[in-house]
Structure formats: C-alpha cells, structure tokens
Amino acid sequence: MSIPSRATLVEHLVRVRIAGDVATPRDNNLDHYRRLANGDRHYWLGLELGDRWADEQDVLAVMAERCGVSDDPEHRHGQDTIDPELTVDGLERMAARLRKAAESQERVLFATGHPGGLLDVHRTTAAALRAAGCDIVVIPGGLRTSEGMVFQFADVAMLERGATLWHTHSPEPMTVILDGLEREGSALPDLVVADHGWAGCAAQRGLDSLGYADCNDPALFIGEAEGTMQVTVPLDDHVLDPRFYDPMTAYLLDAAGLTPAP
C-alpha cells in the first residue's frame, strides 16, 4: 500500500469515520465518563485512578483535549466527534516509540480486546517490528480468565470463548499473561502495544504501554494525561470494514521507519 500524506490520511479517517463524526453517540460517551468518575472499575481499564477523577466534568475536559469530543457539557445527545488531527498526532507519538523499540531490539507484546477491528493493525505492526529484529513475546500456553481462554494468533494475544475471538474491556487477560511470564521465568516485555484493559493493565504494572482508544473509553486518555500510559491514539475502534485501518497502519509504520524497502 502507498503511504498517505498526513493530509490524505486525515481525509481518509474522516471519510470512513475512524475519526470526525464517529458512530459512538454523545449520550454513550457521557454515560461512560460518568461511570468512570463514579468509580466503576470496568471503565478504568486496568488503571488505578483513585479518587482523582471523581468529577465527570474533569473527565470530559481531558476527552475534549486529547480525543476531540465536544467540550460543551450541555451537549447531551446526538453526534460526537474525534479530532482526526489528534488521531494522527497520536500515531506520530506511537511511531516514535516504535522506532525506539526497533533501534533497541526490544521485547514487545501485542494484544487486543477488539479483534473485529484492530487485529490486523496489531498483526501488521508486530510483523514489522519482528522484521526489524525485535523479539515478539510468545505468551504462555493454557491461560484462562473468568471470560475464556487467552491465546495468541498472528503474534497478537486475544480472548477466545466458544471458538470465537472475544471483544473484552477487561484487564484480566493481560494480568494472567504477565503473571504467567513471571511464573515461567520469562522476561517481561519492554513494550506493550494494545487497547482496552490489556493496555491499561500493562501500564499500571509499570510497563511502557501504547494503546488505541475510542471516545467512549476515557481511561487510557487519562492514563496518558497522568503519565501512566505512554501514548493513547484516539479512533473509532470498530468501523464498518477493518481494511479501513490499512492506510493508518501504513502511515504509522512509515513514520516509525518500519516500512520495508521496495
């Protein structure tokens, strides 16, 4: 795939609704911000937020700044947005950290709670880092959580349940991976590239963590604001066709210096 310019990528993100006017409605966003502020740990995505974000208006302010949702507290229903310029800014920050990983031949773990949308983004990034000499972490076998089995496919850890790849926000799968690596005496990752609770859990455990997050998942944005997450990229994490993410991935890998020579 050709590498899009920044302007071309921004236009693409808006056209396919990865950013711009996204599918997630405003009332759903505000409900999740409120639940996070009220201490519902499901919405903390593995991070420990204490009582620092008990005011939902503070959560909204972070999401307006770092994701590009409307900052109007009176806007309660209807359309909400992700700023595509912030998406590309996040990709460029992520690319800088991936470049460092490649230069240092780091040990990297990939995981997703959104296999229907982001699996190929993670798989392609893992393949590029492997080609650059990084060690892609192989997770221990036989890992289980309360939701299902944790296994690895195409270098990406995921949750499997009933022979189906499972959408999950839970940090538990990353917890069992990291505990399993420690139990078998394997080195922990130098870097985790993930989303949802997989990314938040890794960051809370003190690992360098890069994540993708939707506008109704405020915790990872707060994690970056507090310095726990290294990078959080705002995007709609499950659009109509997962191939819509391909130009974004191409841009990311090119910015990281990971595009194979022709």
**Among the listed residues 63, 132, 119, 106, the one whose alpha carbon sits nearest the alpha carbon of residue 209:** 106
**Degrees to nearest 5, angle at CA 225 with 101 and 158:** 55
Average pLDDT estimate for 177-198: 98
- Distance (Å, rounded) from C-alpha 33 to C-alpha 110? 27
pLDDT for residue 75 is more than 90:
yes
Q: 130 exposed, middle or buried (CB, 10 Å; 0-12, 13-18, 19+)?
A: middle
Alpha helices in the chain (DSSP H): 6-15, 26-37, 56-66, 84-103, 115-131, 172-183, 196-204, 219-226, 246-255
pLDDT for residue 1 is more than 90:
no
- Distance (Å, rounded) from C-alpha 133 to C-alpha 53? 40
Cβ neighbors of 251 (< 8 A, separation 6 or more) are 3, 4, 6, 9, 88, 91
Local confidence band at 127 (pLDDT 50, 70, 90 cut-offs): very high
pLDDT for residue 262 is more than 60:
no
pLDDT for residue 261 is more than 90:
no
To the nearest whole number, what is the mean pLDDT of the chain? 97
What pLDDT does 259 receive?
84
Amino acid at 176: V
**Among the listed residues 9, 200, 175, 205, the one whose alpha carbon sits nearest the alpha carbon of residue 90:** 9
What pLDDT does 178 receive?
98
**Among the listed residues 214, 210, 262, 208, the one whose alpha carbon sits nearest the alpha carbon of residue 237:** 214
Phi, psi of 255 (to 5 degrees): -65, -30
Average pLDDT estimate for 130-135: 98
- Which residue, chain included where needed, has tokens 């405003």? 26
- Distance (Å, rounded) from C-alpha 220 to C-alpha 44? 8
Name the pTM for this structure.
Answer: 0.97
Average pLDDT estimate for 102-125: 97
Local confidence band at 229 (pLDDT 50, 70, 90 cut-offs): very high
Q: 146 exposed, middle or buried (CB, 10 Å; 0-12, 13-18, 19+)?
A: exposed
